[in-house]
Structure 1
């Protein structure tokens, strides 16, 4: 029978309704088992993380305390406690837990579990069937659970790292409550590491080494504990565990997956500079290096979107749209299929004409506004929704550009009265901004002609760029 650990009898007669095993059940003593298994919580209060499910008054805490059993899907990344929660649920309701691995099991194993559950029911025992990686079961295998979940023969618990909306049959999904588990955060990972160190009476670990190990684990408790166990095994006799010991222990794994360290930020810097330098080969190389090293593709997606805006801007506005399309495609397909769209966006942005004109203009505007006073809005630009406001002159003399020749109200100003002349946005002579620059030059000419015709250039203020000391972007 292809069952993972075949059968767990965690809560036979005398089991605890709070989620712990019977009092006479000894704690695991197999020192050869992985550290993650040796430290697996045996009581709900020992669980680190998932406070949104296990905190006071939260769904699973309430179920534990009341001893109520319901079918559920536990959805979350690896190493966050899905199997542990299934075991604790079984202990809380005094049920026998049958564990199936969807990687190894088939329909025959499901039938065997059904036979076992029927025998247990005849003896007055309840059964939970836990399916690890349930998304790997096909439709017919998932359908095999339905009649028995419906009849109440056993309670079904499925664990998955994939979105159950797409990977679990709707019929089975409708009969189960989906609980979303979260990756452990920094504080939770630190607490777990401290528990492991105390349990094993390990030597102290430097803060930099512990933070680097936690970054390597990336919210995965199992990965953290296994790496820590390996570190201890290879650091016998050391009075302190530092980064050098960690690098010797994890080797290339740590150097490649240095999510929070210099290598990670150096790599994203190299990617960004390759794009800025219009080198698609370099950009694709660093993209591949980051993905191969375990960087979160969603982080890279965000950086690529920024590159499209910061480095290309209005020289080719399509770059931003392509970057956003790549982000959407990746969300739909995930890895590895979605990575091709990301590579497509990186290559396009790299070869696109470059302009940081808007980036520079925006930074300059923000700096100007921060140090400048709060200038009032000119009267002709103010909104005038009421008769009183119109009577006060709000909106008076405003010219509606669509009613003007070429939809441009030449000579009309849009900056606060008395503000010094500025030119924040200065298009570069590349790509679409060549045409934008020509357009702005023509509008500036029309403004100058309007001012001359009015015979009062002072009322318009000096035109941007006419004064040697004008604020150029």
Structure 2
């Protein structure tokens, strides 16, 4: 008679069933775990040390931590920073101490998403990591330098885990179809090009690749006594596919950085590639439009003032028309920015001026530049002796000074010899010559501060 209260065995997803049991079956991270690599040798010798595993989802952080415990004959304990707090940390440490006392084995304390712990929670690990009560292994998708305390980082080694290559993912999926009992029993037929499209869609994520494979097998259709995964089945599986993007995380900022640097480096093709990557990943086009305006100002400036206008126009098109017309306008702006003459002279000048303002006292506005809206201001000679430039030859009051007296003659803006700034430099050189030749010099230039 069957037990009415007996729980049926829980079904494990393919990704869990294919979790490697030995380091030999671990896929990827050959830069860390390949033959002769220091981390691989340390694991094989059983030399445990605290570490932070930094990498995108699905690259094997949790799996490696489990294998580390297995290879080094250590107890494996896990915490999730999403659910745990200081109380749970202390409880995990107490259990580690009790296990060592009873069985003489160390404990690997694996902390998933460790970047979600606040400063005080991270500090709670310090004495136990320092004393060796536990071997701390943290997993994070975010840059540890920004998200983890320096005190905790100084006690750990940081290892960067990389996305799996298409070749590595293809090998993993092929092995799953050959070795997993459930898939083997279903006699699945899948063309190599179908497998390749699954690996491409997984975008370096092993867990995603296995999940997609399992869904595809679940949706397979019968043909000639076999279960077939064809293009029609694959299209249904990949309908809601979205590439990994992680807005607000490292991948987001790495890609916008690559886009900006491609524009700065005058490579329109690379700039378009990174733009397409961000759009494909779900980035808000208006964010990229705003950054394009920044690029026009920071990296082009007065070398080609049209760049700013084109970037603003693209932003306006995106707001007015949305996608896909707006994205095409942004793509047009990005290519223009990439091929435009480059100058960071305005950007650098502003930073130098701002640095001086923050470092020095607040100098008084010269009397001749002050406003005189009241009778008292006029009696105090505010605005007196001001020379109206439009009434001067060439519309320029030669010899005049517009700085506070203490810093007269400073120069922040140094145009480059590219684009329109070549003509701007010629114009400034001419105006400086007029200043030096003028008999109406108000203040002598400050020669010591003319360069950056």
1:222 to 198, 207, 218: 207
Shift of 1:101: 0.7
Q: How does 1:116-265 map to 2 (within 5 A)?
A: 116-123=95-102, 124-199=104-179, 200-201=183-184, 202-238=187-223, 239-251=227-239, 253-254=240-241, 257=243
Per the alignment, residue 31 of structure 2 pairs with: 52
1:86 to 62, 65, 75: 65
TM-score scaled by structure 2? 0.54
Measured at CA, do residues 348 and 48 of structure 1 come closer, stay the same or move farther in structure 2, by a change above 3 Å?
A: same
SS of alignment partner, residue 204 of structure 2: coil
Q: 1:266-294 CA deviation, whole Å, 9 max, x = no partner?
A: xxxxxxxxxxxxxxxxxxxxx99975752
CA contact (8 A) 2:216 2:233 kept: yes
Shift of 1:64: 1.7
Structure 2, unaligned stretches of length 5 or more?
A: 1-7, 246-273, 313-325, 341-418, 424-452
Q: 1:193-247 CA deviation, whole Å, 9 max, x = no partner?
A: 1111112225232233222222221100001101111111121535432221112
Measured at CA, do residues 68 and 321 of structure 1 come closer, stay the same or move farther in structure 2, by a change above 3 Å?
A: farther
Q: 1:249-279 CA deviation, whole Å, 9 max, x = no partner?
A: 343x13x6599xxxxxxxxxxxxxxxxxxxx
Per the alignment, residue 61 of structure 1 pairs with: 40
Measured at CA, do residues 179 and 358 of structure 1 come closer, stay the same or move farther in structure 2, by a change above 3 Å?
A: closer
Query: Which stretch has the larger CA shift, 231-240 or 55-64?
Result: 231-240
Q: Give the Cα separation in 2 of the matches to 1:149 and 1:320.
A: 56
Q: How does 1:3-14 map to 2 (within 5 A)?
A: none
SS of alignment partner, residue 125 of structure 1: coil
Q: Give the Cα separation in 2 of the matches to 1:137 and 1:357.
A: 41
Measured at CA, do residues 211 and 351 of structure 1 come closer, stay the same or move farther in structure 2, by a change above 3 Å?
A: closer
CA contact (8 A) 1:186 1:214 kept: yes
Q: Give the Cα separation in 2 of the matches to 1:128 and 1:354.
A: 51
TM-score scaled by structure 1? 0.52
Per the alignment, residue 11 of structure 1 pairs with: none
SS of alignment partner, residue 49 of structure 1: coil
Structure 1, unaligned stretches of length 5 or more?
A: 1-28, 260-286, 324-344, 360-434, 440-473
Q: Give the Cα separation in 2 of the matches to 1:354 and 1:95.
A: 55
CA contact (8 A) 2:51 2:138 kept: yes
CA contact (8 A) 1:73 1:160 kept: yes
Shift of 1:176: 0.5
CA contact (8 A) 1:96 1:127 kept: yes
SS of alignment partner, residue 190 of structure 2: coil
Shift of 1:314: 6.6
Measured at CA, do residues 350 and 69 of structure 1 come closer, stay the same or move farther in structure 2, by a change above 3 Å?
A: closer
Q: Kindly report the root-mean-square deviation, in angstroms, between the aligned alpha carbons of the 2 structures.
A: 4.5
Q: 1:38-87 CA deviation, whole Å, 9 max, x = no partner?
A: 10011111011100011011122111211110000000000000001100
Q: How does 1:34-433 map to 2 (within 5 A)?
A: 34-123=13-102, 124-199=104-179, 200-201=183-184, 202-238=187-223, 239-251=227-239, 253-254=240-241, 257=243, 293-294=280-281, 316=305, 318-319=307-308
Q: Give the Cα separation in 2 of the matches to 1:95 and 1:197.
A: 32
Measured at CA, do residues 186 and 289 of structure 1 come closer, stay the same or move farther in structure 2, by a change above 3 Å?
A: closer
Q: Give the Cα separation in 1 of the matches to 2:169 and 2:284.
A: 22
Measured at CA, do residues 219 and 240 of structure 1 come closer, stay the same or move farther in structure 2, by a change above 3 Å?
A: same
SS of alignment partner, residue 157 of structure 1: strand
CA contact (8 A) 1:319 1:348 kept: no
Shift of 1:31: 7.1
Measured at CA, do residues 211 and 147 of structure 1 come closer, stay the same or move farther in structure 2, by a change above 3 Å?
A: same
SS of alignment partner, residue 77 of structure 1: coil
Per the alignment, residue 429 of structure 1 pairs with: none
